Chains A and B, each alone.
Chain A
Amino acid sequence: MSKKVCFMLVHPDYTLDGLRSCLGLAVENMYSYAVVLNQTLPPLDDYNKENIDWIRDMEGEVYSNVPANCENEGLEPLSLEELGQKLRDMDVIVPYGMMP
């Protein structure tokens, strides 16, 4: 059965590569999710937008608890409480990179 993995992205210098890593597991046939926490993304270029689209094409999703990311980049809204509940269902939890 495919594993469920969630990347948590908190540091601006690590976030876009974390999305690439999330996509890397999606193409390995895992349910791969990412959550952008407590930071506003810069305007995404086509490469990073495509990465998000591919994650979704492979039944993953990219969430954020920051409304601007949902409005500007189309990420799915997710509160901290909802993230906690979602993490309970994950096989692997990846606090990616480091705290800012």
Chain B
Amino acid sequence: MAKSLGIFVTSAKNMKHVMGVTKAAKAKGCKVKVFFTWKGTELAKTADFPELCKMADDVSICADSYKKCGFDPADIPQGLTDKEMATQAQHGGIIEDYDCYMTL
């Protein structure tokens, strides 16, 4: 059975890696969850983000971080719903429920 992979994104520099790892993991049948926090939430405004939301099984961002980075929480990034404007509990979910863990 394919493993699951959780990715915790804390840097705004790593979208290429997030996309590359997610695409490769999905091609192997893995379940992939990605959670963006702090400056990582800036990546929700990149052109690749909606595609990531389609590829991965679960994508969410820290709403508090998004606000602190200067974005309006009511301006939900394309690809997300208001339920995916979330909290650090998403990181806890990755650690508890996913087989493999990466920080990008």
Contact = CB atoms under 8 A, between A and B. Distances in A.
A98 B37 contact: no
Given A24-B87, A97-B38, A97-B39, A14 B10 contact: yes
A21 B38 contact: yes
A30 B64 CA distance: 21
* Closest A-B pairs by Cβ, 8 of them: A24-B88, A28-B92, A17-B38, A98-B11, A97-B10, A96-B10, A94-B103, A3-B95
Interface in B59-81: 64-65, 68
Interface string A10-54: 000110011011011101101000000000000000000000000
Interface in A75-100: 91-92, 94-98
Interface of A: 3, 5, 13-14, 17-18, 20-21, 23-25, 27-28, 30, 91-92, 94-98
Contacts of A17: 37-38, 65, 68
Contact of A21 (B13, B68, B91, B101): B91
B89 interface: yes
Interface of B: 8, 10-11, 13, 37-39, 64-65, 68, 87-89, 91-92, 95-96, 101, 103
Contacts of A98: 11, 13
